[in-house]
Amino acid sequence: MKPAETGEGRGHLRTLLTLARYLWPQGEPGLRARVIVSLGLLLAARGVNVLVPIAFGRAVDALTPTQGAAALVAVPVAIVAAYGMVRLLSSAFTEASDAVFSKVQGRGMRRIALEVFEHLHRLSLRFHLDRQTGGLSRVIERGTRGMTFVLDFLLFRIAPTLLEILVVAVILWVMFDFAFSAIILAALGLYIAFTLLFTEWRLRFRRQMNETDQEANTKAVDSLLNFETVKYFGNESHEARRYDAAMQRYEGAYVRSEVTLNALNFGQQAIIAVGLTVVMLLAAYRVAQGQMTVGDFVLVNTYLLQLFQPLNFLGFAYREIKQGLTDMEAMFGLLREEREVPDRPGAAALQVAAGEVRFDDVRFGYRPDREILKGVSFVVPPGRTLAIVGPTGAGKSTISRLLFRFYDANAGAVRVDGQDVRDVTQDSLRAAIGVVPQDTVLFNDTIRYNIAYGRPGASQEEIEQAARLAQVHDFVLRLPDGYDTRVGERGLKLSGGEKQRVAIARTLLKDPRLLILDEATSALDTHTEQEIQAALRNAARGRTTLVIAHRLSTVVEADEIIVLQEGRIAERGTHGQLIAQDGLYAEMWRRQSEAVEAAEAAAAAAAAAEAAEASAARARTPA
């Protein structure tokens, strides 16, 4: 066996063992009892099923004209009734087995899906930045679907069918002779070998289908999530071409998969036809020789049809089971994904008293070969505001990510009230911090839900109070549906300023001790920014606040401003002190002031030109 195949086999075995843990759950005796009862019913169904051809064959013998008239009527009725009862019992046991096991299967799927979902939320920001959401959702979707298929086919169809084949072979050997069993086993062996080998060969086309399907889905999700960007650049045709190119590759793999499936089906039917013909010729010969009855002839034929019929799906089942195991392995692989930023063993909850934030000689880089922060140290006293400014790429947002512990510092320490954030639980740390980001993303739900997300379970009065402080309450009341207004995908139905106010209200409802304003107004126009600033001042009142800003006009009132340049603190002080130093901050202030003045002058000139044109138009209009 090839190493790759051995590794794949070990991977599938590991997947089955992992799956078994969810089907035989610890501490749930009721579900374990269901597994035992379901397997018992399944065995009973297969046991009864092997009696069906015998009852049918005896009914045929009873109908032969060698009996008297009374027997001809009485005996077949009893046997035919028994035949019907056996078939009914077989179906009843099978359906009862599925019904009993359905709760076990449903609970297992639920537990796996929840465990994967929770684990994904525990993984690092780096993992989610590197993965595409569309492809990730497909992995989970396929994994749960693969679990259903593997259980249905492997446990309830393939395994019982193989057991039934062995039982039937023994019955035919005992009732007749070994020749029948040998021919049936040889035909079934050839059928299974052909099916598995041919299916293994054509699996590559199925894999290509999955890969191209995932690629197309990822492109579609990515494009639809960025709907506005597509529209801004008029790139609908470009997106359609990218999607169609992926679908074209899927089409090619699909056609090859379907054509080879037709060849597989024909090969299977050929083997069945040959095996059935040989057995029936032997049975017919024995009947002609008087060694078997007509009922025995029918019995053998019924057994063959009964065995081959469930095997018609073997190629499909093998392919889907193998693909299901592969999909489940990918899903379970997500569970084995290591957390880049784990809680230390025995980590205590953060105890926030005053709310002091301290960075001590912090060094950090997203990659080993590129350091972003190069020994940054500062203190934000309790209840005070520290602003961090600097050129793009200086490391401003990295500071907020280290405080929130999306990443751990490579050297130095980040402390809250003297506690190293690496020594406390992430849940308690993040519960103490509120963030208003630059890119506010809302859930596709109501305004009420999005504000209440800051503290699920908050009352309507508390939601409205937070909205008032964020200066969004009056706007919401003017909407036809009020707080029940749906905001659309990523909040697209609201303007930038409205979304930002909802985000501020959400953070205020959380009532954090520490507040991070990460470029909270950089995406807004100057007028909207000035309105939002009042809401931000409400949010920051009484809280230790870290403001990361590009527009210097938003940090003028900060208690201290530090200027980052190439990962180091270049300047620090109040706005007035930094202007007096006439250094980097003062230069940035002049450039931004000039840009604002130029924009205001341009707007004034445009307004004057428009007014002059309107006046001229009125003058040309006859009285």
pLDDT of residue 72: 43
The confidence band for 68, taking pLDDT boundaries of 50, 70 and 90, is: very low
Query: What backbone phi and psi angles, to 5 degrees, belong to 541?
Result: -60, 120
pLDDT of residue 3: 39
> Which is it for strands 544-548 and 385-389: parallel, antiparallel or unpaired?
parallel
Q: What is the mean pLDDT of the chain?
A: 80
User: Could you tell me what percent of the chain has a pLDDT over 70?
Assistant: 85
For the stretch 219-240, pLDDT in tens is 888 888 788 788 877 888 888 8
What is the fold of 3-335? ABC transporter transmembrane region fold (1.20.1560)
277-282: average pLDDT: 84
pLDDT of residue 561: 92
pLDDT of residue 413: 92
pLDDT of residue 135: 61
Does the pLDDT of residue 523 top 60, yes or no?
no
The domain locations on the chain are 3-335, 357-597
pLDDT of residue 73: 46
Contact indicator for 397, 437 with CB cutoff of 8 Å: no
pLDDT of residue 602: 72
pLDDT of residue 414: 93
Q: 168-172, 406-410, 618-622 — which is least confidently predicted?
A: 618-622
451-459: average pLDDT: 88
Q: How many Cβ atoms are within 10 Å of 196's Cβ, its own excluded?
A: 15
439-460: average pLDDT: 86
Contact indicator for 531, 471 with CB cutoff of 8 Å: yes
Does the pLDDT of residue 474 top 50, yes or no?
yes
Q: 150-159, 291-300, 497-506 — which is least confidently predicted?
A: 150-159
Does the pLDDT of residue 1 top 50, yes or no?
no
Q: How many Cβ atoms are within 10 Å of 186's Cβ, its own excluded?
A: 12
Instruction: Locate the DSSP E strands across 484-554.
Output: 514-518, 544-548
For the stretch 198-215, pLDDT in tens is 877 877 787 788 788 878
Q: Report the largest interatomic distance among the alpha carbons of the chain, rounded to a whole angstrom.
A: 124
pLDDT of residue 5: 46
pLDDT of residue 301: 78
Does the pLDDT of residue 438 top 80, yes or no?
no
Q: Which residues contact 114 (CB under 8 A, 6 or more apart)?
A: none
The confidence band for 599, taking pLDDT boundaries of 50, 70 and 90, is: low
273-298: average pLDDT: 83
pLDDT of residue 619: 66
253-278: average pLDDT: 84
Does the pLDDT of residue 528 top 70, yes or no?
no
Does the pLDDT of residue 24 top 80, yes or no?
no
pLDDT of residue 327: 79
For the stretch 336-365, pLDDT in tens is 777 777 788 888 888 988 889 999 999 998
More confident residue, 312 or 416: 416
More confident residue, 287 or 411: 411
pLDDT of residue 361: 92
Are domains 3-335 and 357-597 of this chain identical in fold? no
Judge residue 405's burial from the number of C-beta atoms within 10 Å of its C-beta, 0-12 exposed, 13-18 middle, 19 or more buried: buried
**Which CATH superfamily, name and number, covers 357-597?**
P-loop containing nucleotide triphosphate hydrolases (3.40.50.300)
**Closest residue by Cα to residue 412 from 383, 372, 381, 382:** 372
Contact indicator for 542, 355 with CB cutoff of 8 Å: no
User: Could you tell me what percent of the chain has a pLDDT over 90?
Assistant: 7
Does the pLDDT of residue 75 top 60, yes or no?
no
474-494: average pLDDT: 83
Does the pLDDT of residue 63 top 80, yes or no?
no
Q: How far apart are the first and last CA of the chain?
A: 99
